[in-house]
Structure 1
């Protein structure tokens, strides 16, 4: 919805392309409005402002001498379409609507747009219709109407067409018929978000689009945080005959405009196609797409004076680099665009909050590196953003740690059960990344709340904190236990928001007394991982309730590996110590026997399953669309390598909620798998209400439980799964007989 900013970026990209000698330019999907407008696309104003932006572009000479393919929404006969508008020499050539809309996972395009209808009985792309241009556009171009539909643009020396994002991913992609019909250059304006281990799929699809049938393919993708949980990772590409000629950066977070340029030899395309006899046979009978002729040439007038681009190998970042670069870029984009003063994080010294802190540190490293090593344009942009965020009009950071200290505050919020080990890890980590660190004790808050409750005219005096999980047999009331853990966690959330508002005022001594709008507030960072969110293993409205969460879509397995990677590759050594520690909430006393500690609170023991097991369960539920029975059947095979003494659910019936309590602990392999499946689905069901309030998180895993965008299930449904669990039991019985 940043119409002015988007228009300036479109203009700058065309200007850069022309400066490098380009005669054709394609841009990302819906670049005029931004891809992530969501229900703003239901507003007619959005379409009106889009045309106003196009009018401003057409009034300039930017499109003189260059054919441009621009993404914007268009209303045709009162129907909204996601379109590509072709422009050259201040005129509109035609408007091409999207045929296949993205309508799964994170995408809801059919909520806002209508797919362009193609008659299935017609083997081609259908007839072109007339689109009557808005009066303002008609006055500029001198044309009242233009073609609307699926077409190719015929210049004096070649033929071009386009497809849009999702169309590349479909089995019967438009580029197949277009290539067979002689279209030599195909452009794709895309809005594809980053997800761990996903880029290779895009590369394979684009490679395949040109390797079978020849041709040139230009892939232009959105770059940056587009106003939500997704980070669009760019990585624009130019391919020819199955070979990569140019590739843009995947996580270039600081320069808003990137133009990827290649020089191609169309004779190579013609040679490959003409010598592929089977392709020629198919092409001779393929349906014809409508051509729109344009009095324009793309080819260089003196081909011998230029050098064509040579093939290169695709660059694909590893998963750890993706975790480091994607969320850190998202954090910087979110911070500089939100107008807030920085970030605040309750830093416990555990793996999750330490991962979040590390990402902020890496963000500062990347910002500082761009400031010292970037292009002149990106240096100016970064410095302006730094001064805007820090509220320091003359500040230039001498190091990335100094920048971190200006925009990042961490706090160790100690409960009465917190240990010196976690406190030490939090302090050392904050020192290594330069964060402004402090610590507080939350016991006075929790004690006060318990005292207030004891004033109620009930049997509230039974609450005895000394008995909760403190005696040798751990026989304290489960109700008291959970209540006392929850109030500690929620107290941290309250303090986090209080401190986020006051810490800039308390720490920026140099700014006190200066005129201006004040010191601003910090955004509170959450640090709940995707597995715990899926299991519901967190307190609703505890310190996982925050403004944004950069690790909310990353599983625990990857987070631990990331900590070890960042310790080595990013010089944050304390992270190795964090990675090797046992995950614990530190909300209960340790188990004491004979005056000695024999067991500390463990997240995995509390949950009755390991983080690796949670990852498998979450993947089967969301990605493979499995119900409880199919999950059990698949896990019997997936976990078949586990040994006979593999740990099942906890060996005390308090660990199993009464609704799914079993008469005796599972002993056989099948019984253990069955019980873990039941526990997982049960706890997911009873905790679905928590997922409706999850902090907006960076989307990285395709089994995210994010209720608001990605996992659209009801938050109230039967948690006992009677028919499903009975079916599992029948299979277990049959296995015993065998």
Structure 2
């Protein structure tokens, strides 16, 4: 006799502190789950208040308002006849916990606090919450009076418990707990729990999704059972983009997978499983013997069957077929992740659109193409009848309720503004590339020369000091050369903000400014190859943690995927800042200026951040990585130079533009890379140790040569 049960999990585009909006999206997901016949609904981590509240979690208002929203969910009869697993913060005994609240038919069954908190990389949960360290332990929690009036309950169980229905047992683990060596689902499976829920706030990084998906599938392949994974989706008000991808797995086989990148605020996926499959699967693995010594969980009983009994068996209901996991290529992830993030940011800040200084180089080109990708996603959502996207597009564009754009270019004309800010050092090639790209993506494009503004600033300096700086190629010093480049870059930033504020006004809009987009890639930020407060200083930066090599691959992919042949010219062009005069013998090159190739910077970045290498350990690793490609002395010189420039430019990260987080070697000083910005750039002791190794290697080579000569 099969025991079929339909289960639902969801991805919600929640927003930190948007209490009513978050509640409404939760309610919509419950209605959608019930419409699909589900008897259990699981939502994302901290979905009531939004995962990304950060230090707002230290404010008691967040907990009060979360209970107020939860009370309206409990009282709503639309939420009956389905077990609900909802995420919210709870204060218990004056301690703040990240919790799951399990309920059925307007009654809270129990509250399950998070056991293992995420506290590395972008996550600081230990700053706000306390972990529940007493596993398999439960105590009483006194409910707020507003909840007591609705449920008639005074206390409920609070702790590491599970939910027992008449036909199965459900246990919860939250996000980070899945990734730990002693994941709760292991002990729960040994104690007979058959359905695991995981509510997550997991962000997007390039090439990361497979790690998460493998963890989820392996959880039930090893232990047996059904795993429901729910995740936040969208921009929660910060640098992260939560990439959804809800998942339902049974015994290691995927039954349903949600979208990773989507403009839908509410997405619910369901699957019908046979609980007998779990029981038979577990009989084939060595679980039985191990379970005899496993911990026991307190079961909170709810007298309800989630699967129909034999008298109500419906032969039309059938289990969901298995499917393969779907993954995007990194180039596609760049196209869609930052694009969804930009749309959320724009619509929620009520901006009038974007302004991008379009230089004709590949970085600003990539930024423009991401905006183009955003416009394509918006048009697709409009064609699918997404009312929220239609309403947001009308609001952002200022075009009113009747306007519905038909093409990405039509939308871009209203919300995307580009500008080529040329000087005497700009080439005709970059200017024409910028203009043609703007035409292809449909942006409102302007073109200007800044020579008079630049010369006015230099003349002012000359009048005040009596000295006139000149470029190095004309006999000037390095400090003069750098100052003349920087003044162009900084004036572009001032010009960008002037145009961003007033361009909508010139086009007839009485209010609303444009968000200025930055376009410095992660490698240049790591090296500090940008001017502080230049046009890399912006409101947000969609490529700020994406490597140059990945951006080049992305543009190569978009050339065909978006049918934009002009992009090939950007890929083939030599990267240049165009801040120095172009002569018959000199054309400025980014890689020559930096002293590193972009490939080298990518390697340095990963070793520094991901492998936690200082100068000495990085040198040792590179001896093997670059063996036969560079001499030990060349490697030593590269490492010393990298850390010198990284250290002296670290201060630039304190004012860097908030960037979409896509890469683990991001040097973002504000949140991800917590290192001091005043560092001795010589790294004197590390240099001595590196020199000792180089000297030893060279001495051994000389000895080997002498030995060979004697032989």
Decide: shared fold, TM above 0.5. Answer: yes
Secondary structure of the structure 2 residue equivalent to 1:245: strand
In structure 2, what is the equivalent of residue 619 of structure 1? 606
Query: Mapping of 1:608-687 within 5 angstroms?
Result: 608-642=595-629, 669-687=631-649
Shift of residue 248 of structure 1? 0.3
Name the count of aligned residue pairs: 680
Q: Find 2:357's aligned residue among 302, 324, 346.
A: 346
Question: For 1:145-196, what per-residue CA distance to the aligned partner results, in whole angstroms no more than 9, with x for missing partners?
Answer: 0000001100000000100000001111000000111100000000000000
Q: Find 1:523's aligned residue among 515, 526, 530.
A: 515
Shift of residue 539 of structure 1? 0.1
Shift of residue 402 of structure 1? 0.9
Shift of residue 562 of structure 1? 0.5
- Contact 1:99 1:115 (8 Å CA) reproduced: yes
11 and 641 in structure 1: CA distance in 2 versus 1, 3 angstrom threshold: farther
In structure 2, what is the equivalent of residue 333 of structure 1? 344
Is residue 2:503 matched to residue 1:503?
Answer: yes
In structure 1, what is the equivalent of residue 307 of structure 2? 299
Query: Partners of 1:240 and 1:370 in 2: how far apart?
Result: 31
- Contact 1:181 1:283 (8 Å CA) reproduced: yes
| Structural RMSD (CA) | 1.0
TM-score (norm 2): 0.95
Query: Mapping of 1:686-697 within 5 angstroms?
Result: 686-697=648-659
Query: Partners of 1:9 and 1:688 in 2: how far apart?
Result: 41
Query: Partners of 1:335 and 1:305 in 2: how far apart?
Result: 46
Question: For 1:257-279, what per-residue CA distance to the aligned partner results, in whole angstroms no more than 9, with x for missing partners?
Answer: 00010001100000011232x21
In structure 2, what is the equivalent of residue 724 of structure 1? 686
Please identify, of 300-309 and 443-452, the stretch whose mean Cα deviation from structure 2 is larger: 300-309
Secondary structure of the structure 1 residue equivalent to 2:269: coil
Shift of residue 54 of structure 1? 0.6
Query: Partners of 1:292 and 1:337 in 2: how far apart?
Result: 41
Is residue 2:294 matched to residue 1:286?
Answer: yes
- Contact 2:527 2:649 (8 Å CA) reproduced: yes
Secondary structure of the structure 2 residue equivalent to 1:263: strand
* Structure 1 outlier segments of 4+, above 3 Å: none
Q: Find 1:381's aligned residue among 357, 378, 388.
A: 388
- Contact 2:136 2:296 (8 Å CA) reproduced: no
In structure 2, what is the equivalent of residue 437 of structure 1? 445
Shift of residue 505 of structure 1? 1.2
- Contact 2:137 2:161 (8 Å CA) reproduced: no
Secondary structure of the structure 1 residue equivalent to 2:674: coil
Query: Partners of 2:85 and 2:136 in 1: how far apart?
Result: 21
Is residue 2:565 matched to residue 1:573?
Answer: yes
Shift of residue 469 of structure 1? 3.1
Query: Partners of 1:234 and 1:127 in 2: how far apart?
Result: 31
Query: Partners of 1:148 and 1:213 in 2: how far apart?
Result: 26
Shift of residue 641 of structure 1? 4.5
In structure 2, what is the equivalent of residue 426 of structure 1? 434
Query: Partners of 2:429 and 2:346 in 1: how far apart?
Result: 32
In structure 2, what is the equivalent of residue 151 of structure 1? 161
Query: Partners of 2:67 and 2:264 in 1: how far apart?
Result: 26
Query: Partners of 1:618 and 1:639 in 2: how far apart?
Result: 15
Shift of residue 696 of structure 1? 0.4
Is residue 2:333 matched to residue 1:322?
Answer: yes
In structure 1, what is the equivalent of residue 399 of structure 2? 392
- Contact 1:391 1:519 (8 Å CA) reproduced: no
Query: Mapping of 1:708-719 within 5 angstroms?
Result: 708-719=670-681
In structure 2, what is the equivalent of residue 103 of structure 1? 119
Query: Partners of 2:575 and 2:48 in 1: how far apart?
Result: 46
Query: Mapping of 1:248-267 within 5 angstroms?
Result: 248-252=258-262, 254-267=263-276
Q: Find 1:365's aligned residue among 373, 376, 394.
A: 376
In structure 2, what is the equivalent of residue 134 of structure 1? 144
| Structure 1 residue runs without a partner (length 5+) | 119-124, 512-517, 645-668
Shift of residue 575 of structure 1? 1.3
| Structure 2 residue runs without a partner (length 5+) | 1-16, 701-711
Query: Partners of 2:347 and 2:498 in 1: how far apart?
Result: 22
Is residue 2:201 matched to residue 1:176?
Answer: no
Is residue 2:698 matched to residue 1:736?
Answer: yes
Is residue 2:472 matched to residue 1:469?
Answer: yes
Query: Partners of 2:511 and 2:53 in 1: how far apart?
Result: 30
Shift of residue 303 of structure 1? 4.8
Query: Partners of 2:693 and 2:284 in 1: how far apart?
Result: 58
Secondary structure of the structure 2 residue equivalent to 1:571: coil
In structure 2, what is the equivalent of residue 68 of structure 1? 84
Query: Partners of 2:244 and 2:318 in 1: how far apart?
Result: 26
- Contact 1:469 1:589 (8 Å CA) reproduced: no
Q: Find 2:585's aligned residue among 577, 587, 598.
A: 598
Shift of residue 297 of structure 1? 1.2
Query: Partners of 1:568 and 1:477 in 2: how far apart?
Result: 45
In structure 2, what is the equivalent of residue 656 of structure 1? none
In structure 2, what is the equivalent of residue 453 of structure 1? 461
Q: Find 1:588's aligned residue among 580, 597, 606.
A: 580
